[in-house]
Amino acid sequence: MKVRFFYSEDCPSHDEALERLRKVMGEEGIRDEIEVVRVDSSEDAEKLKFIGSPTLLINGRDIDPPTNPYYALTCRAYRLEDGRISPLPSETMIRKAIRKAAAEGS
């Protein structure tokens, strides 16, 4: 499984998001390396199609695909299962994306 983690230093939730990703991958038995990519400029954001920190791609697919992507060096808002907005993706969101990718790959 190809797992990529994009983040900006400006958004303080990235450490916790990466920790959450590692935890869920461990629980799901995924031992692949995570490619961690730091995005430092608006130019990089455009080039990498970065819609905000943190962004998690599993086999090239965003764990929470945006409907109207806007590429910028910004922090990303996730709408959680209970409707709240958070700067962190939930464990459920990450788990669903991993299971979907695993099912497609099998």
Partner 1 sequence: MANLKIGDKAISFKLPGVDDKVHSLDEYAGKNGLGVIFSCNHCPYVRAWEDRMVQIQADYAGKGIQLVAINANDDTKYPDDSFPKMKERSREKKFNYPYLRDETQEVARAYGAERTPEVFLFDKGLTLHYHGAIDDNYDNPSAVKEHYLRGALDAMLSGKPLSTSETKPVGCTVKWK
Query: What residues line the site for partner 1 (CB under 8 A)?
Result: 10-13, 16, 42, 52, 72, 74-78, 84-88
- Minimum CB separation from partner 1 for residue 63, in Å? 15
Structure tokens at 64: 């929470």
Backbone angles phi, psi at 75, to 5 degrees: -95, 150
Of the two residues 16 and 32, which places its CB atom closer to partner 1 in the complex?
16
d(CA 58, CA 53): 15
- Minimum CB separation from partner 1 for residue 87, in Å? 4
User: Hey, CA dihedral for 54, 6, 106, 67, is it positive or negative?
Assistant: positive
Give Cα 14 distance to the centre of its chain.
10
Of the two residues 31 and 84, which places its CB atom closer to partner 1 in the complex?
84
Of the two residues 42 and 92, which places its CB atom closer to partner 1 in the complex?
42
- Minimum CB separation from partner 1 for residue 46, in Å? 12
Q: Which three-class secondary structure state does DSSP give residue 56?
A: strand
